[in-house]
Amino acid sequence: MSTGEIGEVNKESGRPVGAARNSADLKLRVRGVVKSFGSLRALRGVDLDCEVGQIHAVLGENGAGKSTLMSVVTGLLAPDEGEMFLDGHEYRPQNSQVAMRHGVGMVHQDFQLIERLSVGENLFLGWDGAPRIATVQRVHEAAAAAIARFGFSLDPATKVQDLSVGEQQRVAVVRALVRGAKVLILDEPTAALTPQEVGELFVVMRSLASQGTTIIFITHKLREVMDIADHVTVLRLGERVASFPIGECDEARLAREMLGRDVVPLERDSAEVPEGSQVVMRVESLHARDERGLLAVKDVSLQLVSHEIVGVAAIAGNGQRELSEALAGVRQVESGRIEIDGSDITSRSANAFTASGIGYIPEDRLGAGMMLRESIARNAIMKALSVRSERARLTRGFLLRPREIENYANELLAEGQVSTRDAGVPVGHLSGGNIQRLLIAREVRIASRLLIAVHPTLGLDVGATERTWQTLLDARGRGIAILLISEDLDEVLTLSDRILVMHHGEIVGEFQNRTTPPTREQLGLLMGGATPRGDSVGVSA
Amino acid sequence: MHTFELSFAAALLAATPLLLAATGELFGEILGMMNVGIEGLMLMGAVTGVIVTLHTNSPELGLLCGALAGAAYLLVVYGIPVVVFMTEQVLPGFAVWFIGLGLSQLLGNNYENTSVSSSSTVVGLPGIDRIPVIREMIGHFPWPVYVAFVLPFGVAWLLGHTRHGRNMRAIGENPATAATGAGIAVMRWRLFYVGVNGFFGGFAGAFLAVVAVGAWGPDVTAGRGFIALAVVIFSAWRARWLIVGAAFFGGLLILVELGGALAWPIPPDFLSMFPYLGAVIVLVIWSIRGRRGELSAAPTSLGVRVMSRR
């Protein structure tokens, strides 16, 4: 009835094995780890050496084997072959509890916290070292002591759901430290952070490392590796292709090792938004509510012009999702006005928005974007049937024309470089990256006037990201207006002609990215709500 | 006439099986498991309790066996599919109801309308015997009544003041995170509390048949399992409020007898609808208050299919 025997301590692990074989400072040594899932060889004999107090970056694209390797290290997966040593002793964790007892802790990308419990309750949850009987007050006192001991500042009584993303991450870090983590694995820790929060995280990482914690930093962002890591190991297709101290490499070399090729530069047909661009969409003092009935979009006015990419930078939950849905016609508007090509479509149906030439890549691709059990063909024509010209091609009266539909689907498969040519397969059988490419191809095809893209490259690897960016730039070249909503500031800064910053549902800053590009810090401050409206450098709104 | 005192005592007696079953269900629901088949579970406890009592002449043994039978029954019909094979929760809940309905009739066929004596379970509260009025109201009850009304305080303490209780709530909030993030052996915990739920549900049914009614009949529960489900919602998942909810519905349940005794000009069939009508009204009021955020919300994963292997 209690947590019981959640995994016994590995009996063999007390025995020193091959202690003389490695230098005394090696904290974790991984040798020749192989792991296969069916016919897929996810890890093909990977080595990893981490020293005490080292920040060790593990760099690789999606599917390179980073997550699989970390699952092996934390006991979530048993390796097919290979061995691991911790402090020179053989280390073979059967599950994550055993790994934790050996001092190997992980901070997952989604932090794995219980949102409706307090910070203090989360710190001690499921931990044998927590007091058995304690009032919430006592738990919070103990948590406050632990938080202070590791040099953090967090209120233990706050519910996790009321914390910012950066604070939630700190809770997850403290939770691992409280349980005695000496090896701390951070899985893509900067993915959802603002530049300021990334800075704070790096300070924390540096300070922990200086106190002797070994940090394994999983990432695919080259700049962050150069900024914070002492040593980097690069994985590609399940193999370790390089491992060197940070002083011996640069970003270009890391990119080459990670991709196995050079980075393709983006092609942009014109740096400036050309003269004579027309206003495609005009939005006037738009208000919209979220699912909880709270006002999520407040008094937003904007114009989207052909041949222009407008990037929206905002921290998750600041109204950008609701804004994108309202502009795509799938969220009811509280008040305000949306015009496309001069005609008011504010209260028209989502079909009418599509028929007006608005393509929409939603945040929730699997839920809102695709019907997973239906075939690729069915999904491909889902929105095309709302567009008059495409409908003429795909239907005859009430009847669908199967051959044309298949052709149409095959065109999308080719345009999106989806790795199947069989349009009869259910979409759910495709990988996440392939589904996303199909969705992007479908929406780009529909978007004769405007494309609304929400996190278009989230979860894509570097190669697919490059292709998606090029697709967006090509669409811009054809004169389509693009609204790009992304939490990835690199993406916003790379692609946008103009950048809007949203905070608490309002637009709090605007930058002409081609002439007066903002710094990441400027954007980060505005996104965090630091500067009052209209006060920032470069605001022209 | 002691109409008020006797009605009060009758209401508490009627509230007891509701309270026991609702307490069991609360355990399950705190861990995210909704069992809509409490009715069938109570029937299994009832028939087992009566059979054992008739054979052993020990109502205590009958109650215990009814509770254990409930635990075993719920583990097999609900626990294994929902927890081990990770099915959704509604159909196994209906299975608990219907299999219980059929199986209990089959087992109890030869015992129908044979009355059982449970006078040995009645205890007097020391000290209270000498206070008039109060004596009639709460002085002489079978011991399970006192147990049922103290139990929620223990549950509240467990949930609010112990590591164990916090782990329970974490599982109900997010089983996958409780497993991987906090390292709780979620499947084992959930199975255990299916057993606990079954134990109290079976106990409730056994109490109803052996003590409150004093005989087995296939209609002995008469929808009380569903009212117990409503009691849990009424309580907004706060253990001590189970008492208020059970007392409220217990009061509605005795309206039929009260109306008959006092010769109210209301048809008894109409009065017997009241508990169910009350349940619907409570659900509507609570839903409105819940949307306004005035009540603590249900465990986030309540009724949600768990897909974690651990």
pLDDT one-digit tens code per residue, A112-143: 899 889 999 999 888 877 888 888 899 999 99
A114 vs B160, B161, B173: nearest CB: B173
Q: Among all chains, which residue has been given the structure tokens 């008894």? A: B268
pLDDT higher than threshold 70 for residue A24: no
pLDDT higher than threshold 70 for residue A338: yes
B166 vs A97, A125, A175: nearest CB: A125
Cβ within 8 Å, pair A96-B183: yes
* Domain presence at residue A107: no
Q: B-contacting residues of A 247-306, CB under 8 Å?
A: none
* Domain presence at residue A487: yes
CA distance A58 to chain B (A): 22
Q: CA separation (Å) from A436 to A363, A370, A413, B79, B181?
A: 11, 9, 11, 38, 29
- Name the residue ranges covered by the structural domains of chain B: 2-291
Question: What pTM, to 2 d.p., does this model score?
Answer: 0.74
DSSP bridge pairs for A310: A483, A498
Taking a C-beta distance cutoff of 8 angstroms, is the pair B15, B250 a contact? yes
Q: Which helix (H) or strand (E) holds B271?
A: helix B268-271
Cβ within 8 Å, pair A134-B185: no
CA distance A185 to chain B (A): 13
pLDDT higher than threshold 60 for residue A22: no
User: In whole angstroms, what is the distance from residue A459 CA to residue A469 CA?
Assistant: 14
Closest-CA residue of chain A to B188: A1
B183 vs A1, A100, A115: nearest CB: A100
Q: Over pLDDT 90: what percentage of chain A? A: 45
Taking a C-beta distance cutoff of 8 angstroms, is the pair B93, B25 a contact? no
Residues constituting chain B: 310
Q: What is the DSSP secondary-structure string of A244-296? A: EEGGG--HHHHHHHHHSSPPPPPP-S-SSPPTTPPEEEEEEEEEEE-TTS-EE
* Domain presence at residue A124: no
Domains held by chain A: number: 2
Q: What is the DSSP secondary-structure string of A349-409? A: -HHHHHHTTEEEE-S-IIIII--TTSBHHHHHHTTGGGSHHHHHHHEETTEE-HHHHHHHH
CA distance B1 to chain A (A): 48
Are A350 and A468 within one domain? yes
To probe the interface with B, which of A116, A122, A137, A159 has the most B CB atoms within 10 Å?
A116
User: In whole angstroms, what is the distance from residue B228 CA to residue B24 CA?
Assistant: 10
pLDDT higher than threshold 80 for residue A267: no
Q: Kindly report the CA angle at B167 between B165 and B170, in degrees rounded to 5?
A: 115
Q: Does A187 touch chain B (CB under 8 A)?
A: no
Cβ within 8 Å, pair B163-A133: yes
Are A276 and A407 within one domain? no
User: In whole angstroms, what is the distance from residue B289 CA to residue B296 CA?
Assistant: 10
pLDDT tens per residue across span A370-391: 888 888 998 988 888 888 888 8
Cβ within 8 Å, pair A126-B167: yes
Cβ within 8 Å, pair A3-B167: yes
Fold observed for domain B2-291:
ABC transporter involved in vitamin B12 uptake, BtuC (1.10.3470)
CA distance A9 to chain B (A): 14
Residue A25 in 3-state DSSP? Answer: coil
User: In whole angstroms, what is the distance from residue A306 CA to residue A300 CA?
Assistant: 20
Q: Mean pLDDT throughout A310-315?
A: 91
- CA-based nearest residue to A506, from A308, A309, A288, A331: A288
Quote the distance between the C-alpha of residue A447 and its chain's center.
Answer: 25
The confidence band for A3, taking pLDDT boundaries of 50, 70 and 90, is very low
Q: Over pLDDT 90: what percentage of chain B? A: 62
Which phi and psi (to 5°) does residue A110 adopt?
A: -95, 10
- CA-based nearest residue to A183, from A153, A154, A218, A234: A218
* Domain presence at residue A407: yes
pLDDT higher than threshold 70 for residue A181: yes
- Using the 3D structure, point to which of A390, A423, A446 is the last residue of a domain: A446
Q: CA separation (Å) from A279 to A268, A276, A424, A448, A479?
A: 21, 10, 40, 14, 11
Q: Does A11 touch chain B (CB under 8 A)?
A: no
DSSP bridge pairs for A83: A31
- Using the 3D structure, point to which of A446, A471, A502 is the last residue of a domain: A446
Worst-scoring range by mean pLDDT, A184-198, A266-280, A350-364, A399-413? Answer: A266-280
Q: Which helix (H) or strand (E) holds A421?
A: none
The confidence band for A316, taking pLDDT boundaries of 50, 70 and 90, is confident
Residues near A398 by Cβ (< 8 Å), separated by ≥ 6? none
Taking a C-beta distance cutoff of 8 angstroms, is the pair A166, A195 a contact? no
Question: Higher model confidence: residue A367 or residue A457?
Answer: A457
Task: Check if the interface score ipTM surpasses 0.85.
Answer: no
Record the tokens describing residue A74, joined without a space.
Answer: 């934390």
Q: Does A129 touch chain B (CB under 8 A)?
A: no
Taking a C-beta distance cutoff of 8 angstroms, is the pair B23, B202 a contact? no
pLDDT higher than threshold 90 for residue A326: yes
Q: What is the DSSP secondary-structure string of A43-87? A: EEEEEEEEETT-EEEEE--TTSSHHHHHHHHTTSS--SEEEEEET
CB contacts, 8 Å: B189 with chain A: 1
Taking a C-beta distance cutoff of 8 angstroms, is the pair B66, B58 a contact? no
Are A453 and A350 within one domain? yes
Q: Is A252 exposed, middle or buried (0-12, 13-18, 19+ CB in 10 A)?
A: exposed
Taking a C-beta distance cutoff of 8 angstroms, is the pair A467, A288 a contact? no
Question: Higher model confidence: residue B259 or residue B39?
Answer: B39
B162 vs A108, A111, A132: nearest CB: A132
Domain of residue A292 covers 267-357+449-541
Cβ within 8 Å, pair A4-B177: no
Record the tokens describing residue B30, joined without a space.
Answer: 């705190």
CB contacts, 8 Å: B163 with chain A: 124, 130-134
Q: Does B154 touch chain A (CB under 8 A)?
A: no
pLDDT higher than threshold 60 for residue A473: yes
* Domain presence at residue A442: yes
Cβ within 8 Å, pair A96-B169: no
Are A468 and A351 within one domain? yes
* Domain presence at residue A374: yes
To probe the interface with B, which of A71, A125, A132 has the most B CB atoms within 10 Å?
A125
pLDDT higher than threshold 60 for residue A1: no
Taking a C-beta distance cutoff of 8 angstroms, is the pair A80, A55 a contact? no
Residue A214 in 3-state DSSP? Answer: strand
Taking a C-beta distance cutoff of 8 angstroms, is the pair A103, A177 a contact? no
- The domain spanning residue A453 has which CATH number? 3.40.50.300
* Domain presence at residue A33: no
Taking a C-beta distance cutoff of 8 angstroms, is the pair B53, B110 a contact? no
Record the tokens describing residue B3, joined without a space.
Answer: 């109409």
User: In whole angstroms, what is the distance from residue A526 CA to residue A504 CA?
Assistant: 11
CA neighbours within 13 Å on the CB side: how many for B60? Answer: 5
Rounded to the nearest 10 degrees, the angle between the axes of helix B163-173 and helix B3-30 is 70
Are A272 and A382 within one domain? no
CB contacts, 8 Å: B178 with chain A: 114, 125-126
Are A293 and A417 within one domain? no
CB contacts, 8 Å: B188 with chain A: 4
CB contacts, 8 Å: A112 with chain B: 177, 180-182
* Domain presence at residue A144: no
B181 vs A2, A113, A135: nearest CB: A113
Record the tokens describing residue A36, joined without a space.
Answer: 């296969």
Are A329 and A458 within one domain? yes
Question: Higher model confidence: residue B196 or residue A3?
Answer: B196
Q: Does B136 touch chain A (CB under 8 A)?
A: no
Closest-CA residue of chain A to B195: A1
pLDDT tens per residue across span A58-105: 998 877 888 889 999 999 899 999 999 999 999 999 888 889 899 999
Q: A-contacting residues of B 288-307, CB under 8 Å?
A: 300
User: In whole angstroms, what is the distance from residue A350 CA to residue B262 CA?
Assistant: 63
Q: Mean pLDDT throughout B276-300?
A: 80
CA distance A123 to chain B (A): 8
pLDDT higher than threshold 80 for residue B267: yes
Q: Which helix (H) or strand (E) holds B57?
A: none
Q: CA separation (Å) from A257 to A231, A239, A262, A265, A512?
A: 14, 11, 9, 17, 35
pLDDT higher than threshold 60 for residue B149: yes
Average per-residue pLDDT in chain A? 86
The confidence band for A419, taking pLDDT boundaries of 50, 70 and 90, is confident
- Using the 3D structure, point to which of A426, A446, A466 is the last residue of a domain: A446
